[in-house]
Homo-oligomer: A and B are copies of this chain.
């Protein structure tokens, strides 16, 4: 297949591009390099050393003999270029990762909120409009998020279904059964954009018969895939800062430098996880199984296991000997939640989940320990808050921290 990967320079986009290229597909990456630009803005870098795109692609050619195309373009602001790319390449499928993907970043300040909405909604809508305008019947695979669902719809034991929910609507003539797009309850501007995307997908699938798959992904952990591990120039991102670093990466980084693991709130929040090798395999499965024209968007839950944050901290502490510290929670969310997620669709298509228990030690030693000399100690405490005036990290954790944790000079949150 000819596959366009929008956002192919990012944490999920890059290993997906390599995986699809390795499978023999003709892959072209379109990316505005915004993830690198945000690193510059936040004054932070991936723990792993990320090479320029040209070097990444040359290394992949050396290692695999395969070529991946690259176009530097911004699908949110350069609509005409997007149309030109679609016309020139006539892709069979488009994988759409080209969105701002950090919830804390999306809440930092008015500019970040506006950027997240403008970039994500415009990018998605430009893609849909362009496919219709070009008349291209390419399958679209989009990365959504588990965060669209919210956590209190189903009681304690009923799993979150995949995208659609069967409900009964009471009427004078008795209950009517309907299958509806799952109601959303979003916890950040970022998560809200993925809920907006869903409604755009529903409209364009119905009106224009676009074939769209939306993947509601959990928190991705892990760094390497069978492709990225072949050469250090191909290595994938390991973000550990308070905005882009997800919970497990932050624990592993903290353990590697002897800092207490910072649990925000009680740690009773349960979240869904998936390893990056499973992510790229899921994209492959989604590409191989698109909906038919005229079908509603196909939604998969892209998740393999669920954990309480506190349990993850204990897992990493057990593996590394790190201590655990509790900090205020900057998010407006329930103190505790249970989470049971259906992910039957990918399992039925042959996904073989990578258990956290199998790979966590490797992640700790080969990534976090191996690159710990690259940690910026000012990024160890997360300080983005969900509303101005919310309590941020206190100093106690710094006092108690190992001496390798440099003092932090205060709240780095934007207005």
Please tell me if the beta carbons of A195 and B189 are within 8 angstroms of each other in the complex.
Answer: no
**Are A199 and B186 in contact, CB atoms less than 8 angstroms apart?**
yes
* Known contacts A114-B125, A169-B153: A415-B199 contact under CB 8 Å: no
A403 to B60, CA, bound (A): 71
Binding stretch for chain B, among A7-15, A200-208, A364-372? A200-208
The 8 A-B pairs at the shortest CB distance, nearest first, are namely A167-B167, A158-B171, A168-B168, A180-B183, A110-B133, A192-B203, A117-B125, A196-B196
A154 engages B130 (CB within 8 Å): no
Residue contact A386 to B125, C-beta cutoff 8 Å: no
Instruction: Tell whether, in the assembled complex, residue B184 and residue A155 are in contact, meaning their CB atoms are under 8 Å apart.
Output: no
Taking the closest CB of chain B, its distance from the CB of A271, in whole angstroms, is 19
Q: Is A409 an interface position by the 8 A CB rule? A: no
Interface contact B173-A157, CB-CB below 8 Å: yes
Residues 129-163 of A, flagged 1 when their CB comes within 8 A of B and 0 if not, give 11011010000000000000000011101100000
A122 within 8 A of B: yes
A79–B114 touching, CB < 8 Å: yes
Instruction: Give Cα distance in the complex from A79 to B118, angstroms.
Output: 12
A172 to B203, CA, bound (A): 32
Q: Is the CB of B386 within 8 A of A207?
A: yes
User: A110 touching B122 by the CB < 8 A rule?
Assistant: no
CB contacts (< 8 Å) of A169 on chain B: these are 153-154, 158, 165-168
Instruction: Check A387 for interface membership: any CB of B closer than 8 A.
Output: yes
A362-387: which have CB < 8 Å to B? 386-387
Kindly list 12 other residue pairs between chains A and B, CB separation below 8 angstroms, not including A79-B114, A114-B125, A121-B121.
A114-B122, A117-B121, A117-B125, A132-B388, A135-B388, A153-B169, A167-B169, A168-B169, A180-B183, A186-B203, A192-B203, A207-B332
- B129 and A154 contacting across the interface, CB-CB below 8 Å: no
Could you show 10 A-B contacts with beta carbons less than 8 Å apart?
A114-B129, A153-B176, A154-B171, A155-B171, A157-B171, A168-B169, A168-B175, A184-B199, A184-B202, A186-B203
Q: Shortest CB–CB separation between residue A11 and chain B, in angstroms?
A: 25
Alpha-carbon distance A275/B411, docked complex (angstroms): 53
In the complex, A175→B154 CA distance in Å?
9
Q: How far is the CA of A126 from the CA of B113 in the complex (A)?
A: 9
Assembly CA distance A200 to B121 (angstroms): 12
Q: Are A178 and B157 in contact (CB-based, < 8 A)?
A: no
Q: B residues within 8 A CB of A171?
A: 154-155, 157-158
Instruction: Check A415 against B133 for contact (C-beta < 8 Å).
Output: yes
Q: What residues on B are CB-neighbors of A184 within 8 Å?
A: 199, 202
Query: Is A170 an interface residue when CB atoms closer than 8 A count as contact?
Result: yes
Chain B CB within 8 A of A181 CB = yes
When chains A and B are docked, how far (Å) is the Cα of A125 from the Cα of B196?
12
Task: State the CA gap A114–B387 with chains docked (Å).
Answer: 31
